[in-house]
Amino acid sequence: MTLLQGKRIIVTGAAHGIGRATALAFAKEGAQVVVNDAGGPRDGTSADTSAASSVVDEIRAAGGQAVASAESVATAAGAEAIIQAAIDSFGGLDVLVNNAGILRDKTLLKMTDAMWQTVLDVHLSGTFYCLRAAAQHMRTAGGGRIVNTTSVSGLLGNFGQANYAAAKAGIYGLTRTASIELQRFGIFVNAVAPIAKTRLTDDLPMFEKLDSLTPEHVARVHTFLASDLAGDRTGLVVGVAGGKLSVFRLVESAGVLKDDDGGLWTPQEIADRFDAIDKA
């Protein structure tokens, strides 16, 4: 028996990069995989229905089981169709990996409304739509696992990526809330914050000499989180940068309690005490 034998899994954005590496890894571990990808260039300006099929062909050629889905995650109807593809093809859904994404980078003052909204539609709304549709099925089925994709850009910020960072920060909050709400149904929700050389990043200067940051590193973490090895872990954000793994946490400083004047701070008092307020 392999690690994911008999698991019915959806991977969105699975035609290239991290998604493709993850779909191939899942199939190698015995999973039945829905390879979802609308295809097209990295800015999402067009579609290519053959993109997902090419990965399915790879999986089948290696003896695995997979079907293709070219639905867009950016609408509720598209997300529901993706989940239904797993049910129709394999009889159910055990794991969802929300990996679909596009880039439309521009500095804040030059970003158009369309650049902002389209990235949020794919990343944040797409993750929500797929998560909601999958969770509805998993609740009835008795449990499941969901892995979202956030980013260092969303957790720490990044120049020229206001739209992408806002979406990825939203996915962090969505992951945390979903993990709290869905745990009682046996549904575990985690996220990965990957740094990898893919077609979304390969033209960035920092990646020119970082061939060691491969999608396969991220696929191994996806495999762990999709498997029973992850146990009841939920609400985590696992950072992946090549061979380095970490866990991101939101940290609050110790803070300062004002115990006089009804606890009301004056602006001057805040300025005078801010170093203490900010101290870890």
Angstrom distances, CA of residue 273 to CA of 153, 265, 269, 277, 280: 30, 10, 6, 6, 14
155, 246 contact by CB (below 8 A): no
Active site residue 172: no
- With a CB cutoff of 8 Å and minimum separation 6, the contacts of 27 are 33, 59, 62, 64, 65, 66
Pairing of strands 187-195, 237-241: parallel
101, 130 contact by CB (below 8 A): no
Q: CA 225 to CA 230: how far, in whole Å?
A: 5
Q: Which of 116, 128, 164, 188 is catalytic?
A: 164
φ/ψ of 123, rounded to 5, equals: -75, -60
φ/ψ of 131, rounded to 5, equals: -60, -45
101, 200 contact by CB (below 8 A): yes
Q: CA 162 to CA 109: how far, in whole Å?
A: 10
Q: CA 64 to CA 57: how far, in whole Å?
A: 9
* Core vs surface per residue 110-137: b (16+ CB within 10 A) or e: ebeeebbebbbbbbbbbbbbbbebbbeb
Token digits of residue 223? 């495999």
3, 223 contact by CB (below 8 A): yes
Question: Which residues are annotated as catalytic?
Answer: 164
